[in-house]
Amino acid sequence: MSIPVTGSHASSHATGTLAADAVGSLVQSVDWIAIAPAAIPAAVALVVLVADLFLPKEKKALLGWVTIAGLALAGLALGPLRAGHRKTFCLTTDPGECSYAADHFTVVIQLLVIGGALLTALLSMHDMEKYPAGEYWFLLLSSAAGAALLPASRDLATLVVALEVTTLPAFALVGIKRGDRLSSEAALKFFLSSVAATAVTLLGVSFVYAATGTLHLASIADGLGDVQPQLATLAKVGAVLTLVGFAFKLAAAPFHFWVPDTYVGAPLPIAAYLSVVGKAAGFSGLILITVIAFEPYADVWGPVVAVLAALTMTVGNVAALRQRAGFAHSAVRLLAWSSIGQAGYLLVPIAAAAYSDDPQHQIGTTVAYALMYAAVNLGAFAVAALVARTAPANRLTDYRGLYANRPLTALALAFFLLCLAGLPPGVIGLFAKVAVFSSIVGTGPAWLAVVMAVNVVIALVYYLRWTALLFAKPEAGPAAATGAADGTGTVSGAVAGAVAVAVPATRTPAPLTAAIALTAVAGIVLSGVPQLVLRYASGALL
Amino acid sequence: MNDTALQYVLAGIVVLPLLGAVGALLPAPPGLRGRNPDQAVLRHGVTVTGAVLILAIVLAAGFDHDHPATMQASTDLKWIPALNIHIHLGVDGISLPLLVLTALLTFLCALHSYFKRPAGPSPKAFVALLLVLEAGTLSTFAVLDLMLFFLAFETVLIPMYFLIARWGGAGREAASLRFILYTLLGSVIMLLGLLLIGVKAGTFDMVALATDNGSSLGHSTQLLAVLAIGIGFAIKAPMWPLHSWLPDAHTAAPTVGSVLLAGVMLKMGTYGFVRIALPVAPDGMHTFAPYLAAFAVVGIVYGSLACLALARKGAGGDLKRLIAYSSVGHMGFVLLGIATLTPTGVNGALFANVAHGLITGLLFFLVGAIKDRYGTSDLDRLTGENGAALYGRAPRLGGLLAFAAVASLGLPGLAGFWGEMLAMFGAFKPADGLSRPTYLVFTAVAAFGTLLTAAYLLAVVRRVCMGDKGTAESGQPVLSDVHGYEFAAWTPLAALTVLAGLWPAALLGLTDPAVRSLLGGS
């Protein structure tokens, strides 16, 4: 894959900073504090990769804790950036043109990405004996570094590089289950469709560069205003093609086909990671190029994004509705399709931005919704990971009667699902949806509001079915027949039943408990004080 | 009592059930464990709902009855500045009766469940859901912010769904899913309307919007808004032809669920019409009022005909289903009253609202009791060839059923009479600008509906209460008459039915000034 860093006059990443004093005017200055949230995970990734060579096998768990500490440190590094006015990698010839901006938008998305990666790490801790530890943590950290870089990028080259840094390690992570046919197939599917999308994006970027002569987002917006008439079509085609790559990462229909198989084949924490951090990378990139770079073409991409949003949510929700509870991996498959549906909601405010006089305000709604979605979706995946310990097939029917065995876990999952559905007691889910609705009502296309209303109802069916299953009476499976009082994992079906009998009531691993508790507390606090995330919906972030 | 104290009382009414719901899920503290955990948690339910009822009575006592049109016990706190959402609570003459009715019915339901444990899984969840439901309904009537209203509207869905799906009878899964999908679709569409109002008027505050009386909303905005929120309320009310979720939900629901569904939740729809649609978008309401009235009278006749069909011998009609259909008819009168846009009609609607809550609540309790005794609520199996002879076999139960039935058909002197009469009276002389001949037709059809109502209710009384005692008892176990706890649960409803029938001014005096101010200070 060609990475057009060197070809661009915009970027001079980290190279040559030592010589900064000597060369002076040619080399851009670097604000290390500003880039710390993206740089720390990258540095820790290298540390982990090297340390893996020297650590004896029984101490590999240490790598996981190093990863978690590194991500926590990266999270802390966001603290000094809260003011949101730092910029770096600016052109020496024009200090206003910067490739990296740590503004409010960047800081919020980086918080989401780093928090998501941290929770993914917590989810992975208990299962590490199955995977090569060093590679796993290295790949996870690298991908997180890319996803943290992405929202800060302010030129197309950096944006594409960040997108690839996010995605390339993810291919390997999806396929990391050695000897698992599903896993390799998932990785291949993910890889092929992703590469195709990236190629299309690069083509689009080259068109835009040809038409405007710049890669900086802000200058593109200026340049598009007065494109030479014969290049206008080229610029418009370029704009649409550039969107494709990001729509792919967000898993917007019709670029969503890779999602269900990839999520099912991937290790569960990686599926969670893709559903939250992968999407964050997709929509933050989409926001940057639509609202900043292609702002003059709002009349072109506005309807396109609106149609994408309607299509995505409908496809995702209808497919999720059709999942059969008894099939293998139906829980993860359902979460996969529902994440596509949720991606549709995320797109709605972006579409609304095209119709609004104040686009910055609208995209804040996407950010607020994404924060809510990240917390509760990771929570749902955490519970799925817990259930997968006793029922590896992870069918929806395996959740039957979860309340009888693990009341708190079941209540937490019910809360997460109702947040995703947007019904009380999931108050934050409800108000996040209200915010999305209010971004289109009045200014945006009314039909999109109606489509979304219908989708909210469709989505309720499958979320509610799952919720009801948690509280249903446990089926009298083979395990219950033996009179076991605890009845952990009384699952239907002979195979899973046999597994459930073989696995005694295991203790929940501490990192997994921590992940569920963290997300549940986040959801509950946000339900009491929705302002904490919804404030992003009312202020300009960029 | 001063207003600050009332503020806390009202806040307590909304918050207490929520705290109680959390408390129901926690293990009982020492000293409150009771005989067994089930008994302890059911007693917890009675305690909390009882406390809420006492608070509601205190609120009603402290309410300044000389100024029912002004908002009292108001609290206004910023909650989510990003969406301009306030925690704004308050009561006036319109919401106060509904608040007290809700608190009363929920308490009676909790009391009933304490003595007669609902058949189904653990009562712990039952009590928690009941309390969440109470919190949702009470806050629907207490909040004065459109978005908070929507939140309260949605809060009742999940508890009611689980009450039907887990503690219900045959066909509960499908019925509960249908209930929640139907009402959710309605409320999401309603949300669009509410947001449209909020975005265009710049505030979600119901008091400010009502004072504004729609002057900051353009005509087309009002039309769209009324259409959207009207669909939401019409599904909840329910208005024919959007009622089809109701009969199944009622038939499948446990007794307590039916009582609350009919007694309280249906009122949320009609309350919304009066509280939001009428004052906030008067132009829109004016345009849609004739259609609303037309649907309402069709609903009256349709409900009555459906009941007649169910009451026929050999039709295999279910008594719960019959009362559910009769609700469609009764709520038709409420909607007709609202659609007249006159103070008379709207007052009648509000009166009929409360009366329907009392009478239908009582009816569902009674039918639940009959179902418990006979094991079925199928009319044909209940009555056999010659009637169930309830008068002879269980005279008190039979007498109460006959009482509730004649109250429901609108016998003068009982609560059912005034509301429906005032609604028709309003329709006889609708607001200026509405076509009088059309409304005269509506009045005539509604009057015909009252005849049909009388017909089916009397048929029910004849088949269930009368009959030959000897043949009815053959091969049947001995029926127990009304138990003490049943008396405790039903007497307040029967007494209030008589009181409201004999002294309607008590209620109308509260609602009338508030209605006049909502309709534009005429």
Mean pLDDT highest for which of A84-93, B170-179, B331-340?
Answer: B331-340
How much is the pLDDT for A455? 95
Which residues of B, range 362-381, sit inside 8 Å of A by Cβ?
A: none
CB distance from A462 to chain B under 8 Å? no
Q: Hey, how many other C-beta atoms are within 10 angstroms of the C-beta on B34?
A: 14
Domain enclosing residue A462, as ranges: 299-542
CB distance from B63 to chain A under 8 Å? no
Which residue is closest to A444 within chain B, CA to CA? B196
Mean pLDDT highest for which of A144-148, A425-429, B245-249, B398-402?
Answer: A144-148
Nearest to A430 among B125, B136, B151 (CB): B151
- Whole-number mean pLDDT of chain B? 90
Q: Model confidence over A88-125: pLDDT tens digits? A: 888 888 888 889 999 999 999 999 999 999 999 999 99
- CA–CA dist A37, B402 (Å, integer): 75
The amino acid at residue A274 is: L
Band (pLDDT 50/70/90 cuts) for residue B383 is confident
Quick check: helix, strand or coil at residue B73? strand
How much is the pLDDT for A128? 84
Q: Model confidence over B209-238: pLDDT tens digits? A: 988 888 888 899 999 999 999 999 999 988
How much is the pLDDT for A493? 40
- CA–CA dist B63, B71 (Å, integer): 10
- CA–CA dist A25, B314 (Å, integer): 98
Q: Hey, are the CB atoms on A424 and B189 less than 8 Å from each other? A: no
Does pLDDT of A15 surpass 60?
no
CB distance from B273 to chain A under 8 Å? no
How much is the pLDDT for A417? 95
Which residues of A, range 421-450, sit inside 8 Å of B by Cβ?
A: 423-425, 427, 430-431, 434-435, 437-438, 441-442, 449-450
| Chain A residue numbers touching B121 (CB-CB < 8 A) | 471, 473
Q: Model confidence over A283-317: pLDDT tens digits? A: 999 999 998 888 888 888 889 899 999 999 999 99
Which residue is closest to A459 within chain B, CA to CA? B181
Domain locations in chain B as residue ranges: 3-518
| Chain A residue numbers touching B79 (CB-CB < 8 A) | 530-531
Mean pLDDT lowest among A354-358, A460-464, B354-358? A354-358
Does pLDDT of B373 surpass 60?
yes
Q: Give a yes or no: residue A476 inside a domain.
A: yes
- Whole-number mean pLDDT of chain A? 85
Band (pLDDT 50/70/90 cuts) for residue A333 is very high
Q: What is the mean pLDDT of residues A167-187?
A: 86
Write the Ramachandran bin of A510: left for phi over 0, alpha for psi from -120 to 50, otherwise beta. Answer: alpha
How much is the pLDDT for A4? 43
| Chain A residue numbers touching B157 (CB-CB < 8 A) | 423-424
Q: What is the mean pLDDT of residues B80-107?
A: 92
Q: Give a yes or no: residue A222 inside a domain.
A: no
Does pLDDT of A226 surpass 50?
yes
Best mutation target among B83, B86, B179, B235 (most A Cβ atoms within 10 Å) is: B83
Nearest to A431 among B83, B165, B188 (CB): B83
Q: Give a yes or no: residue A520 inside a domain.
A: yes
Quick check: helix, strand or coil at residue B318? strand
Q: Give a yes or no: residue A181 inside a domain.
A: no
Which of B349, B498, B359 has its CA nearest to residue B424? Answer: B349
Percent of chain A clearing pLDDT 90 (strictly above): 49
Higher-confidence position of A516 and A393: A516
Q: Model confidence over A239-269: pLDDT tens digits? A: 888 888 788 878 888 888 889 889 998 999 9
How much is the pLDDT for A184? 85
Nearest to B81 among A473, A531, A536 (CB): A531
How much is the pLDDT for B329? 92
CB distance from B87 to chain A under 8 Å? no
Q: Hey, are the CB atoms on B165 and A430 less than 8 Å from each other? A: no
Q: Hey, are the CB atoms on A423 and B83 less than 8 Å from each other? A: no
For B138, counting Cβ atoms within 10 Å of its Cβ (0-12 exposed, 13-18 middle, 19+ buried), the class is buried
- Distance of residue A110 Cα from the nearest chain B Cα, in angstroms: 22
Q: What angle do CA A264, A270, A275 make, to 5 degrees?
A: 80
- Residue B333 to residues B226, B256, B267, B329, B418, Cα–Cα distance (Å): 20, 25, 13, 7, 11
Which residues of B, range 119-138, sit inside 8 Å of A by Cβ?
A: 121, 125, 132, 136
How much is the pLDDT for A541? 76
CB distance from A473 to chain B under 8 Å? yes
How much is the pLDDT for B480? 79
Q: Model confidence over B37-60: pLDDT tens digits? A: 888 899 999 999 999 999 999 999
Which residues of B, range 190-209, sit inside 8 Å of A by Cβ?
A: 191-192, 195-196, 198-200
CB distance from B417 to chain A under 8 Å? no
- Distance of residue A453 Cα from the nearest chain B Cα, in angstroms: 6
CB distance from B154 to chain A under 8 Å? yes
Quick check: helix, strand or coil at residue A473? coil
Q: What is the mean pLDDT of residues A439-444?
A: 84
Longest dimension (CA), chain A: 80
Q: Hey, are the CB atoms on A537 and B181 less than 8 Å from each other? A: no
Nearest to B80 among A431, A453, A536 (CB): A431
- Residue A56 to residues A59, A65, A127, Cα–Cα distance (Å): 6, 15, 18
| Chain B residue numbers touching A425 (CB-CB < 8 A) | 132, 155, 158
Q: Hey, are the CB atoms on B155 and A424 less than 8 Å from each other? A: yes
pTM: 0.91
How much is the pLDDT for A288? 92
Band (pLDDT 50/70/90 cuts) for residue B503 is very high
- CA–CA dist A112, A133 (Å, integer): 24
In the DSSP assignment, the letter for residue A89 is: E
What tokens appear for A244 in the block? 């494709």
Best mutation target among B124, B172, B192 (most A Cβ atoms within 10 Å) is: B192
Higher-confidence position of A58 and B227: B227
Does pLDDT of B372 surpass 70?
yes
The total of structural domains in chain A comes to 1
Q: Model confidence over A482-534: pLDDT tens digits? A: 333 333 333 334 444 444 434 445 678 899 999 999 999 999 999 999 999 98
- Distance of residue A438 Cα from the nearest chain B Cα, in angstroms: 6
Could you tell me if A99 and A140 are in contact, meaning their C-beta atoms sit under 8 angstroms apart? no
Band (pLDDT 50/70/90 cuts) for residue B1 is low
Q: Give a yes or no: residue A29 inside a domain.
A: no
Torsion over CA: B14, B15, B18, B20 (sign): negative
Which residues of A, range 400-419, sit inside 8 Å of B by Cβ?
A: 418
CB distance from A528 to chain B under 8 Å? no
Q: Hey, are the CB atoms on B80 and A425 less than 8 Å from each other? A: no
Does pLDDT of A19 surpass 80?
no
CB distance from B85 to chain A under 8 Å? yes
| Chain B residue numbers touching A365 (CB-CB < 8 A) | none
Q: What is the mean pLDDT of residues B492-503?
A: 93
Q: Hey, are the CB atoms on A441 and B196 less than 8 Å from each other? A: yes
Q: Give a yes or no: residue A391 inside a domain.
A: yes
A-B C-beta contacts closer than 8 Å: 93
Which of A214, A198, A205, A190 has its CA nearest to residue A164? Answer: A198
Could you tell me if A317 and A342 are in contact, meaning their C-beta atoms sit under 8 angstroms apart? no
How much is the pLDDT for B475? 62
